[in-house]
């Protein structure tokens, strides 16, 4: 696939109630705000929240699915800006903003079902 400036792509993931438990097992992040809904409520989060890096992994998967090869992803950065709750649907919209020297720069918009940006200033770089 030839990557060109202006190309767009998208993806989405629904956060099921077990996702933070699966992610905790894989990452070792068993912070109670992620796996205990009562604790999450007690500290004012409205329930358990998804690990931020799992949210970033959803964005990463959207990019690598589009690029066709996980090895093409060379850089990814973001600012975590809002919690993701169980049953949220995360949507990712990518736009190629530049292609130079065999690399494509991509800006990503990552929002929940209410349009709230859960990640901001999301940028990826892939092999073109």
For the chain, domain boundaries: 8-16+55-127
Q: Closest Cα to residue 125, out of 67, 54, 68, 55?
A: 67
Question: Exposed e or buried b for every residue in 61-96, given b needs 16+ CB within 10 A?
Answer: ebbbebbeeeebbeebebeeebbbbbebebbbebeb
pLDDT along the chain (128 residues), means of 10: 94 96 95 96 95 97 97 98 96 98 97 98 97
Active site positions, annotated: 29, 34, 49, 52
Residue 1: per-residue pLDDT: 76
> How far is it, in rounded angstroms, from Cα 26 to Cα 106?
27
Per-residue pLDDT tens for 53-76? 999 999 999 999 999 999 999 999
Whole-prediction pTM: 0.93
Q: Which CATH class is domain 8-16+55-127?
A: alpha beta
């Amino acid at each position: 696939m030839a990557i060109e400036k202006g190309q767009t792509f998208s993806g989405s993931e629904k956060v099921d109630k077990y996702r933070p438990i699966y992610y905790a097992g894989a990452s070792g992040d068993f912070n109670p705000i992620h796996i205990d809904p009562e604790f999450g409520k007690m500290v004012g989060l409205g329930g358990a929240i998804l690990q931020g890096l799992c949210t970033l992994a959803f964005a990463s998967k959207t990019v690598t699915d589009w690029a066709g090869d996980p090895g093409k992803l060379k850089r990814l950065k973001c600012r975590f800006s809002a919690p993701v709750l169980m049953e949220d649907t995360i949507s990712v919209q990518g736009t190629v903003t530049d292609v130079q020297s065999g690399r494509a720069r991509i800006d990503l918009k990552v929002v929940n079902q209410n349009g709230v940006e859960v990640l901001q200033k999301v940028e990826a770089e892939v092999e073109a």
